[in-house]
Each structure stands twice: as structure tokens, then as C-alpha cells.
Amino acid sequence: SWPAEPGQRFEFQVAHDQAFNDIMTSESVSEPHASIPVPPPDAYYLRVRAIDPDGYVGPYTAPQRFVVAAPFPWWLGLVPLLGL
């Protein structure tokens, strides 16, 4: 979610790279929040821009990096028990 003014719409993008050459999601929303299905483990970048009620389209925010961690392999917890 992000701050907003009444009546604004938003465009958000998620990309594999900070330059947004490899965009994986690009959507428009009418509320100041969004959600996407959890992508595969990797680093990603997110940016948002506001569209005012009068049609003015603002610039994108600075890219924000986020990381989707790989799930911990449950079987690694057995290694000490098995004496391996």
C-alpha cells in the first residue's frame, strides 16, 4: 500500500530488473494498494505512479527492491538427527 489523495488511480509494475526492461506485472488499480500472486524465489523491483482525477499522470516512484525467499527445505532439519 502507499499514500494517496482522494480520487487518484494508480499504475504499478513489478519487474525482474531495476531498469524495468523485464516487466512481469503491470496493472492499474483504483485503490492505493495492490497484491499479486507470490512469484518464484528471486529479487524483484516495484514502482507506482498516481493518475489524478484531472488526468495528470505523475512520475513513477523510485524502484523498491523486494526478495522472495526460497522455502527452507524441511528435510535439512533431519540431517543432525541422522548424524550426517
Condensed to tens digits (0 to 9), the pLDDT of residues 27-80 reads 999 999 999 999 999 999 999 999 999 999 999 999 999 999 887 766 566 656
Instruction: Give the count of beta carbons closer than 10 Å to the beta carbon of residue 13.
Output: 17
- Maximum Cα–Cα distance across the chain: 68
CB distance 25 to 34 below 8 Å: no
pLDDT at 78: 62
Does pLDDT of 2 surpass 70? yes
As given in the structure block, the three cell numbers for residue 56 are 495528470
Please report, for residues 36, 42, 54, 82, the alpha-carbon distance to residue 67 in angstroms, rounded to integers and kept in the order given.
Answer: 14, 6, 35, 32
